[in-house]
Chains A and B, each alone.
Chain A
């Protein structure tokens, strides 16, 4: 633990060097949000250093209309393969978990590769893999598309809504209300896209960026790195996860993604429609596009009434400021996706910050 104490001491010392100035640091990735909550990292920070969660939970930023399209497929007998986190996300009318309770074929998978086995086991049933996530997940999904092609699988398509992190950061830095002094950049998204991807936010927008892993000591080390830059009046990209993240990212993964996907405008819960922020299948993969194959379209859906997930995701509201937090909305009975997903800010706040964190 002495490493943690040494890092906490360093952070305290840097915070004092800020001379009373309060700073807000945003963790962009859901894995950081979880690590920060689980290890009580907020409590280790001096009062003038605040942490803010960004739009880094892939399930949370997925709009309700996407869930509606998946439900429409499930209700007409299409087998749905999905990451488990999507199961309880509310659409406008029910969730995949409720559809499954009503008899729909919905299978939680850890890996997209598992969808190949599901489709092979039931060759007469059409299957759809729910393709959501950031670049870290989009790369495996692209590899799945290539593998469907290679094996000539005829009954497996993708309902595509993967998202790209940099356009979300573009939207955040363009928001004049968002006072963020630095970004703790994602670990494994960066493994794919590379540390260089954050240069515009440092160079053009003056925001220090530190890439860090999400082990607790790495998070502390990353936060210390952000404070070092702020104290020194600098803004650059500091890669503190160089053991995995290369400046240019993973070339093989980027190649696979570029072969399968192209950038497209996409709607985000909380941030609205952001240019080129999503990924869609290229025309040459149209036969794997569930929207075309099954004639469904992802339309804007209805947000759960009263849920402030959108504002939480945009860094404008803390979970505890939502009037439903811990009242009608709990992990056992989630109202919005930020309480459903284990990476969601509301779930993390509920589970780990405990009653002190809950305003009454």
Chain B
């Protein structure tokens, strides 16, 4: 029942409903479980309800972490690959 894919909120209606979009496909969504939903929020949808927002900074940090892992692997580092979160200044 869970979808991992975040979708972008493109409309917020007065009655607690709204519209999300992913790759040009739009779906209606209920927004009763979010405080102050705004157009442009990237949300996680479960059973037709937005259950949480995606934090763009954290999402970027994870993308960068995985990119570094891939780069280290491809460079054939051989030694231990650090999985720990990057130091704050790198984020």
Across the interface, B47 reaches (CB within 8 A) one of A5, A137, A146, A253, namely A137
B39 at the interface (CB under 8 A from A): no
Report how far A137 CA is from B51 CA in the complex, Å: 9
A31 vs chain B, min Cβ distance (A): 5
B65: nearest chain-A partner, CB-CB = A221
Chain B contacts for A265, CB-based, 8 A: none
A112 at the interface (CB under 8 A from B): yes
Chain B contacts for A3, CB-based, 8 A: 66-67, 69-70, 73
A244 with B49: CB separation less than 8 A = no
Report how far A31 CA is from B46 CA in the complex, Å: 12
Across the interface, A242 reaches (CB within 8 A) one of B44, B55, B66, namely B55
Report how far A58 CA is from B72 CA in the complex, Å: 40
For residues 12 through 66 of chain B, which have their beta carbon under 8 Å from a beta carbon of chain A? 16, 30, 32-35, 44, 46-49, 51-55, 58-59, 61-62, 66
B1 with A83: CB separation less than 8 A = yes
B17: nearest chain-A partner, CB-CB = A113
Chain A contacts for B59, CB-based, 8 A: 243
A91 vs chain B, min Cβ distance (A): 21
Chain B contacts for A360, CB-based, 8 A: none
Query: Per-residue CB proximity of A134-151 to B under 8 Å, as 1/0?
Result: 001101100100110000
A187 at the interface (CB under 8 A from B): yes
A136 with B46: CB separation less than 8 A = yes
Given known pairs A143-B49, A147-B16, A256-B33, the reply for A6 and B81 (CB within 8 Å) is yes
Q: By the criterion of a CB under 8 Å from any partner CB, how many residues of chain A are at the interface?
A: 48
Binds B, one of A7-15, A39-47, A93-101, A278-286: A7-15
A151: nearest chain-B partner, CB-CB = B15
B62 with A143: CB separation less than 8 A = no
Number of A-B contacts (CB under 8 A): 126
The interface size bin for chain B is 20 to 34
Report how far A192 CA is from B46 CA in the complex, Å: 11
A343: nearest chain-B partner, CB-CB = B1
A250 at the interface (CB under 8 A from B): yes
A131 vs chain B, min Cβ distance (A): 11
Query: Per-residue CB proximity of A187-223 to B under 8 Å, as 1/0?
Result: 1100110000000000000000000011101000100
Given known pairs A139-B33, A217-B66, A252-B34, the reply for A188 and B44 (CB within 8 Å) is yes
For residues 213 through 263 of chain A, which have their beta carbon under 8 Å from a beta carbon of chain B? 213-215, 217, 221, 224-225, 228, 242-246, 250-253, 256
A243 with B70: CB separation less than 8 A = no
A111 at the interface (CB under 8 A from B): yes
A170 at the interface (CB under 8 A from B): no
Chain A contacts for B90, CB-based, 8 A: none
B33 with A140: CB separation less than 8 A = yes
Given known pairs A9-B73, A85-B1, A243-B58, the reply for A250 and B32 (CB within 8 Å) is no
A10 with B83: CB separation less than 8 A = yes
Report how far A15 CA is from B44 CA in the complex, Å: 33
B49 with A187: CB separation less than 8 A = no
Chain B contacts for A353, CB-based, 8 A: none
A133 at the interface (CB under 8 A from B): yes
- Can you list 28 pairs linking A and B with CB atoms under 8 Å apart? A2-B70, A6-B70, A13-B81, A31-B4, A58-B1, A85-B1, A111-B47, A111-B49, A113-B48, A136-B1, A140-B30, A140-B32, A140-B33, A143-B33, A146-B32, A187-B4, A191-B44, A191-B52, A214-B2, A221-B66, A221-B83, A225-B83, A228-B83, A243-B54, A243-B61, A244-B55, A250-B51, A253-B51
Interface residues of B, Cβ cutoff 8 Å to A: 1-2, 4, 6, 16, 30, 32-35, 44, 46-49, 51-55, 58-59, 61-62, 66-67, 69-70, 72-74, 80-81, 83
Can you list the 5 inter-chain pairs with the closest CB atoms, starting with the nearest? A111-B48, A6-B73, A243-B58, A143-B32, A140-B49
